[in-house]
Structure 1
Amino acid sequence: MRGHQKITVVTGGSRGIGAAICRRLAVEGHDVVVGYRSDEAAARAVTAEVESAGRRALAVAVDTADEHDVAALFEAAAALGPVTGLVNNAGVSGPNGRLADADPAGMRAALEVNLLGYLLCARQAVRAMTASGGGCVVNVSSAAATLGSPGQYVHYAAAKAAVDALTVGLSKEVAADGIRVNCVAPGTVWTDFHEDPQRPAKVAENIPMRRAGHPDEIAGAVAWLLSDDASYATGAVLRVAGGM
């Protein structure tokens, strides 16, 4: 997609890692579509930051586990022009604790967002990018995919392991169509994702770098994978986890 205006859809773009990604992409020259679930005010604040960087922005409410919502998201994005990028970032932790105590309905809802949502968004992105000559997908996974998150949210780790598999499989499926598919797997990051707001500080001693990460550090990795500098990278799972 060299020479084309970059138009990137970021799901879960209103807060935390997603918001940092939107801001970084604006600096890198992307027009950005901020997908959000419910916090319109936060999404509007992010679009304002994108616009202040001189780029175009849209905020679109979307339930990524709903195929009709996902189709509407990409239809709205097309108003800016051909979509060249997708960052699959929207996610929820679901029940927190031992698997034996987990609520099935809560696990099901989390799996729908953390895995089905990624599949539906990737499906829609591939359709759009195939028609327009190519593009890039970056899935946001987690170090939990290989660490397993025992005693916390095994179901979340399982979903993220599936995201890694999705990345590898889809990258091979669409490479000949000019579409690159990669993945960033963050470790513990300072965001409001955690049930315990102080968890990043509490687990820092177990991280080789002795600290949790920051959203901007994840955003930089995502931006690189979407850039022309990563033009020969596809099927990669880039771990950004402080050594975990």
Structure 2
Amino acid sequence: MKRTLITGGTRGIGAAIAHRLAADGHSLVLGYLSDAEAATSTRDAVEALGVSCEVVRADITTDAGIAELFEAAGPITGVVNNAGATYRYASLVETPADEIRKTYAVNLVGPTLVARAAVSALAENCGSGGVIVNISSGAATLGSPGEYVHYAAAKAGIDALTKGLGLEVAGQGVRVVAVAPGLTETDMHANTGDPGRVARMAPQIPLGRASSPGEVAEAVAWLMSDKAGYVTATTLRVAGGR
């Protein structure tokens, strides 16, 4: 039985990943930060697919929050390191220093510590093997000038984490991979103050549209499956050619 922990697993891409992995028979533990209504809704939808699902409110930027997540998860076979956030679209100079620090805490420091805990948990619970999927961003290679350079830099760090940690733990049978979504139809854009961003940016994508969260989830599901058993220390870009 596969049991997977998903951080930020109750909204947007995280919720889509939860639904997709549930369809593959994974029992799930979903971490979330503040939206209890979304957590309950996602848990109920996942359980309706016939698998067990627990939701845990925890802050991955704290040691206590990470410990709580992994304690609640118990024996696991995989982790999807999905939690992340953006707060505004602006040039780096116009972005407050405290917001930059917060962005790194949520999008790089926290996920790095989650990955660290995941290696220990997988070694303890699986004996050998297991999969960590980090959620990066197409912004990591584009730089996102004028929007969120600091967020792009944090996600570039996720790509480096995936490469280095994947090589570091390959001998333990743990695979570490990443998915880098491009423009995706989620509520992140409205929450960051630009609800029209998807429509405005879509013509810049070679495929001419944004992705759905479900398309990103399909990539994650494949990477977590035995079909991707020879794939590690790499990032799969799901960005419509951009």
Q: Which of 145, 158, 180 is matched with 2:140 structurally? A: 145
- For 1:61, the equivalent position in structure 2 comes to 57
> What do residues 87-146 of structure 1 show as CA deviations (whole Å, max 9, x unaligned)?
111111134201111100011011101001111111111101111222100000000000
Instruction: Give the 4+ runs in structure 1 shifted more than 2 A.
Output: none
TM-score (norm 1): 0.95
Q: Equivalents in 2 of 1:177, 1:71: separation in Å?
A: 22
- 1:229 aligns with one of 223, 227, 232: 227
Does 1:187 pair with 2:185?
Answer: no
Choose the corresponding residue for 1:17, options 13, 27, 32: 13
SS in 1 for 2:25: coil
Q: Aligned residue for 1:217? A: 215
- Percent identity, aligned pairs only? 53
Question: Where do 5+ consecutive residues of structure 2 fail to align?
Answer: none
Aligned AA for 1:150? P
Aligned pair partner of 1:108 in 94, 101, 113 = 101
* Inter-partner Cα distance in structure 2 for 1:218 and 1:206: 19
- Map 1:77-226 → 2, pairs under 5 A: 77-78=73-74, 82-132=75-125, 133=127, 134-194=129-189, 195=192, 196-226=194-224
Maintained 8 Å contact 1:95/1:107: no
Q: Distance in 1 between matches of 2:103 and 2:44?
A: 30
Paired residue secondary structure (1:208): coil
Letter aligned with residue 130 of structure 1 = A
Aligned alpha-carbon RMSD (Å)? 0.8
Match of 1:28 in 2: 24
- Give the residue type in structure 2 aligned to 1:206: Q
SS of the equivalent of 2:10 reads coil
Separation in structure 2 between the aligned mates of residue 55 and residue 215 of structure 1, nearest angstrom: 21
> Do 1:16 and 1:192's aligned partners in 2 also have CA atoms closer than 8 Å?
yes
- One-letter code aligned to 1:43: A
TM superposition shift of 1:56: 0.5
**SS at structure 1 position matched to 2:219:** helix
Which SS does the other structure have where 1:155 is aligned? helix
Please list every run of 5 or more consecutive structure 1 residues that lacks an aligned counterpart in the other structure.
none
TM-score (norm 2): 0.96
Superposed displacement of residue 197, structure 1: 1.8
| One-letter amino acid of the counterpart of residue 105, structure 1 | D
- CA contact 1:94–1:109 (8 Å) conserved in 2: no
| Matched position secondary structure for 1:234 | coil
SS of residue matched to 2:30 = strand
* 1:15-48 C-alpha deviation (Å, 9 max, x unpaired): 1000000000000110011110001110111111
Check whether the contact 1:98–1:152 (CA below 8 A) recurs between aligned residues. Answer: yes
Q: Is the 8 A contact 1:34 1:59 kept in 2?
A: yes
**Matched residue SS, 1:101:** coil
Is the CA contact 1:95–1:106 (under 8 Å) kept in the aligned structure 2?
Answer: no
Check whether the contact 1:7–1:85 (CA below 8 A) recurs between aligned residues: yes
Q: 1:202 corresponds to which letter in structure 2?
A: R
- Secondary structure of residue in 2 paired with 1:137: strand
